[in-house]
Amino acid sequence: MLEKTFYKQLLKNSFNIPIEVTYWDNSTEKYGEGEPQVKIKFNEAISLKEITNNASLALGEAYMAKKIEIEGSIEKLILAAYQNKNSFFYNKTLKKIMPHRKHSESDNEGYIQEHYDLGNDFYKLWLDPTMTYSCAYFKHPDDDLQTAQINKVNHILKKLNQQPGKTLVDIGCGWGTLMFTAVQKYHLKVTGITLSEEQFDFVSQKIKDLHLEKDAEVILTDYRELDGRQWDYVVSVGMFEHVGKENLPGYFADIAKFMKDDGVALIHGITRQGEGAANAWIDKWIFPGGYVPGIEENINSILKSGLQLSDLEMLRRHYQKTTEIWDKNFNEHREQITKMMGEKFVRMWDLYLQACAASFASGNIDVMQYLLTKGPSGSKLPMTRDYVYQ
């Protein structure tokens, strides 16, 4: 009885849309005015201890285990919780911080491989043909995902004001789309860095297949092992979310070390407009060691490293649309992925993608591109942004 009373209070105050909840005793309650937009069913109760320890973790794991069923859009439900300041998302007593993860080189290698080495065949099912696993850039409302990902790569490379024959390093190069575009379209000499063995094998083979050995290389290493090398351009996309809060100053200091005196860097990653944060469910099940820094943290680390912020662009709505398309693609292959990975994994991944879309939609998280130079006079960037859009 105590549990049910607690749940009623928790759910009644957590959403800004009408919902219907069916409890484990088959009783049903409606919260909010109007026809329910989402329906929640508890197949069994989740202990108060789990909820009060960390509500996001407990509810996420309950959904994975089919203790909870959701009829309707998970994205809409989570967005409604983010938009309601009385929801459990904002209750500090219901989000106990998980034990702090270390970020040594061996730790980071394990974290990255746990997520990115799920298998190229898995990612091919729901990413676009470029195999780009980061925020796309929708120049036009009707751009498909592949077009938008190519837009993003070109947008980044154009921001660098790149010149043929110069050198570029891509830290966290993924499956190499930016690398190969930089070589083939912009005639740069490129180095890719990754900790993922699957990505390393994929990019290595593609370099051979395209006969680009003179202009492209990929290295399986931690970026902190690159001492002594410098490039004209440094790019890092979706990377700093993985380095850990304590390593952010060192990450940007290393970016500065990798840049030549007149070098330019484009750093693209998920950033909060408020304070930095981690999510216990995401940390445990999706991105071990993940931490989304606040914009103030990043800018302080950039400035302390001796770099100059030349441009800052927010792409939050682009990432919302990207994750929505990923989830649609994912669910179109749901049966096949279930055979590959199991039902618990599929429910987890669907929840992850829809939760990300909701988080971007609500403004809880953003994605930003930081254009950096070494000092105010160290760059040859044009005085206006026109060059980016030509």
Cite the active site residues. 356
Q: Which DSSP symbol is given to 54?
A: B
- d(Cα 31, Cα 33) in Å, to the nearest integer? 7
Q: What is the rounded end-to-end Cα distance, in angstroms, of the chain?
A: 65
Tell me how far apart the alpha carbons of residues 91 and 93 are, in angstroms, rounded to a whole number: 5
* d(C-alpha 67, C-alpha 51), whole Å: 14
CA distance 297 to 215: 35
Q: Strand, coil or helix: what is 118? A: coil
Largest CA distance in the chain: 71
Whole-angstrom Cα distance, residue 104 to residue 75?
A: 34
**132 neighbors 156 (Cβ within 8 angstroms):** no
Tokens of 194: 């990754």
Residue length, the chain?
Answer: 390
Locus of tokens 């990798």: 258
